[in-house]
Amino acid sequence: MKRKGIWAGIALIVLILAVGGVGWFQHQFGSAGSGNELQGGPIELPSTHGDFSLERLGEEELAVVFFGYTHCPDVCPMSMAVIRQALADLEADQRERVVPLMISVDPERDTVERLAEYTDFFGDDFIGATGSQAQLEEIAERYGVVWRKVEAPDSAMEYTVDHSSSLYLVDREGEILRRVLYSPAPHSLSAALQEVL
């Protein structure tokens, strides 16, 4: 009887730690929250389409901003595919008002040239941007984005990058109109775009 009580206690502790860990990860890596508490603000970075600036968007335009990196094995290509699908679901006039922007959180490897190769795979309208570590950290802080380099000594990549995976609908003033949580399907992003457009 005592043994059952001990195992039940251990199971409860493991459950509490697991739930707490998931909550911490969601908080740290952008899987929770509405975006209302985020500052947003200007984005000005070298990009695959010249110097990018939110301020250069038209009055009716918005950017779908995603933070990722080109060596990402799963979340980034999936998110880019989701953006591509959501854009394809829009009416032609709506699609022209949306600028898809991927900001690399791996400036060590992701040059503008490397980003151009990567974003071209998803479509000509996709823009890849990067900057110095200081520039990226300043933007990431305002957008509530976190990332960390994870060494992978047994891999040819040498390291991976754990990072936030939300998508942000942002206007030319840098106001975050919607924050869309990561999903392998385009429904949430499509709904957010329809609301905003």
For residue 27, being part of any structural domain is answered with no
How far is 43 from 136, CA to CA, in rounded Å?
Answer: 10
**pLDDT at residue 195, rounded to an integer:** 96
For residue 22, being part of any structural domain is answered with no
Q: Characterize 153-164 residue by residue with b for buried, 16 or more Cβ atoms within 10 angstroms of its Cβ, and e for exposed.
A: eeeeeeebbbbb
- The total number of residues shown for the chain amounts to 197
pTM: 0.81
Q: Which domain holds residue 158?
A: 33-196
How far is 161 from 25, CA to CA, in rounded Å?
Answer: 14
How far is 62 from 77, CA to CA, in rounded Å?
Answer: 21
Q: What is the side-by-side strand order in the sheet with 98-104?
A: 50-53, 44-47, 127-129, 98-104, 62-68, 167-170, 176-180
**pLDDT at residue 152, rounded to an integer:** 87
For residue 100, being part of any structural domain is answered with yes
**Can you tell me which residue has the tokens 């151009």?**
116
For residue 20, being part of any structural domain is answered with no
How far is 133 from 140, CA to CA, in rounded Å?
Answer: 10
For residue 9, being part of any structural domain is answered with no
CB-side exposure of 78: number of CA atoms within 13 Å? 11
**Can you tell me which residue has the tokens 């300043």?**
138
How far is 124 from 7, CA to CA, in rounded Å?
Answer: 57
Cα–Cα–Cα angle for 54, 56, 58, rounded to 5 degrees: 100
Cα–Cα–Cα angle for 183, 160, 42, rounded to 5 degrees: 65
* Total domains, the chain: 1
For residue 89, being part of any structural domain is answered with yes
- φ/ψ region of 128 (left if φ > 0, alpha if ψ in -120 to 50, else beta) reads beta
Which CATH number belongs to the domain containing residue 152 in this structure? 3.40.30.10
For residue 180, being part of any structural domain is answered with yes
pLDDT in tens, the chain (197 residues): 555 544 444 433 333 333 333 333 343 444 333 444 799 999 999 999 999 999 999 999 999 999 999 999 999 999 999 999 999 999 999 999 999 999 999 999 999 999 999 999 999 999 999 999 999 999 999 999 999 999 988 887 889 999 999 999 999 999 999 999 999 999 999 999 999 99
For residue 2, being part of any structural domain is answered with no
**pLDDT at residue 37, rounded to an integer:** 74
